[in-house]
Amino acid sequence: MSFLTVDLADRAPVRALPQEPVRGGPLAAALSRIWHRRYLFAAVFVGILGLAVTALLMIQPQYVASGSVIVAEAEPGANNASMAWIQKIGDPADIESQILVIRSPRLLRLAIDDGLIAAVMAECRSAATRGHPDEISAKKEAACTKLTTDRNALVEYLQKRYTVLSSGRSRIITIGYKSPLPETAQTMANGLINAFLEDQRETQASSRKAAADWLHAEISQLDASIRADETRIQTFRRRKGLLKGSTAPISAERLTSISQQLAAAETAKADAAARLSEIENKGARGADSAPAVLASQTVVSLKQQLSGVSAQLANQSTLLGANHPVIRALETEQASLRTRIEQEVGNVAKGLRKSYEASNALAKSLRAQLETAKTDAAAAMDDEASIEGMVRNAEIKRTRYADLVKRAGELETERRILTGSTRLVSLAELPQEPFSPKAVPFLAGGFVLAGVLAAAAALLRDYTDRRVRSSAQLMAGTGAPVFAQLPSLEPAGLVGRFSERQRALELPEALARARVDPVMQNVLRNLHAHLVLAGSGKSRVILVTSAKPREGKSFTAFALAGIGAAGGRRVLVVECDLRRPNFEASLGLGRGPGLGGVLRGEIDPAEAVVPAGRFDVIPAGTPTADSTELLMSDRMAGFLDWSRRYDLVLLDTPPTSLLMDAPTLARHVDGVLCCARYGRSQLSDTVETVANLRRAGGHVLGIAMTMVRPGTQPTYDVMPLPDPRTAAGAR
CATH of the domain at 645: 3.40.50.300
Average pLDDT over residues 612-618: 90
**Does 236 or 261 have the greater pLDDT score?**
261
Using left for φ > 0, alpha for ψ between -120 and 50, and beta otherwise, residue 143 falls in alpha
CA end-to-end distance (rounded Å), the chain: 70
pLDDT at 289: 62
Q: Give the end of a domain, one of 426, 454, 478.
A: 426
Q: Lowest-pLDDT range, 133-142, 282-291, 526-535, 672-681?
A: 282-291
Evaluate if residue 511 carries a pLDDT over 80: yes
Are 78 and 184 found together in one domain? yes
Handedness of CA 178, 184, 190, 193 (dihedral sign): negative
Comparing CA positions, the residue from 92, 67, 71, 85 lying closest to residue 169 is 92
Average pLDDT over residues 441-456: 89
pLDDT at 174: 92
In a domain, 400, yes or no: no
In a domain, 74, yes or no: yes
Comparing CA positions, the residue from 239, 243, 708 lying closest to residue 487 is 708
Evaluate if residue 498 carries a pLDDT over 60: no
Domain extent, residue 538, equals: 468-708
| pLDDT tens-digit map of 251-263 | 677 778 888 887 8
C-alpha distances in Å from residue 516, one per residue of 497, 520, 559 = 24, 8, 12
Give every CB contact of residue 264 below 8 A, 6+ residues apart in sequence.
none
pLDDT at 499: 47
E strand intervals along 2-118 = 63-71
- The rounded Cα 399 to chain-centroid distance in angstroms is 55
Pairing of strands 610-612, 615-618: antiparallel
| pLDDT tens-digit map of 323-379 | 778 787 877 877 887 787 777 777 777 777 788 778 788 888 878 877 777 776 676
Are 444 and 510 found together in one domain? no
In a domain, 474, yes or no: yes
Could you give the 3-state DSSP secondary structure of residue 22? Answer: coil
Q: Lowest-pLDDT range, 206-215, 312-321, 502-511, 532-541?
A: 532-541
Question: Alpha-carbon distance 83 to 91, whole Å?
Answer: 12
Could you give the 3-state DSSP secondary structure of residue 177? Answer: strand
Are 446 and 501 found together in one domain? no
Evaluate if residue 406 carries a pLDDT over 90: no
Are 582 and 547 found together in one domain? yes
Pairing of strands 671-677, 540-546: parallel
pLDDT at 294: 64
pLDDT at 14: 39
Evaluate if residue 1 carries a pLDDT over 50: no
DSSP state of 244: B
Are 577 and 672 found together in one domain? yes
Evaluate if residue 85 carries a pLDDT over 80: no
Are 531 and 456 found together in one domain? no
Q: Give the end of a domain, one of 399, 426, 453.
A: 426
In a domain, 331, yes or no: no
Are 480 and 569 found together in one domain? yes
pLDDT at 415: 66
pLDDT at 145: 82
Q: Lowest-pLDDT range, 39-53, 147-161, 199-213, 633-647?
A: 199-213
pLDDT at 176: 93
Are 449 and 549 found together in one domain? no
In a domain, 313, yes or no: no
Are 66 and 39 found together in one domain? no
pLDDT at 113: 67
Are 42 and 181 found together in one domain? no
Helices (H) and strands (E) in the chain, counts: 28, 12
Sheet holding 63-71, edge to edge: 162-166, 172-179, 63-71, 422-426
How many alpha carbons fall within 13 Å on the CB side of residue 475? 9
In a domain, 391, yes or no: no
In a domain, 342, yes or no: no
Are 701 and 605 found together in one domain? yes
| pLDDT tens-digit map of 663-689 | 999 999 999 999 999 888 888 888 999
Split into its structural domains, the chain has a count of 3
Are 473 and 452 found together in one domain? no
Kindly provide the b/e burial profile for residues 595-630, where b requires at least 16 CB atoms within 10 angstroms of the residue's own CB. Answer: bbbbbbeebebeebbbebeebbbbbbbeeeeebbeb
Evaluate if residue 501 carries a pLDDT over 60: no
In a domain, 118, yes or no: yes
Quote the mean pLDDT of the chain. 79
Evaluate if residue 471 carries a pLDDT over 90: no
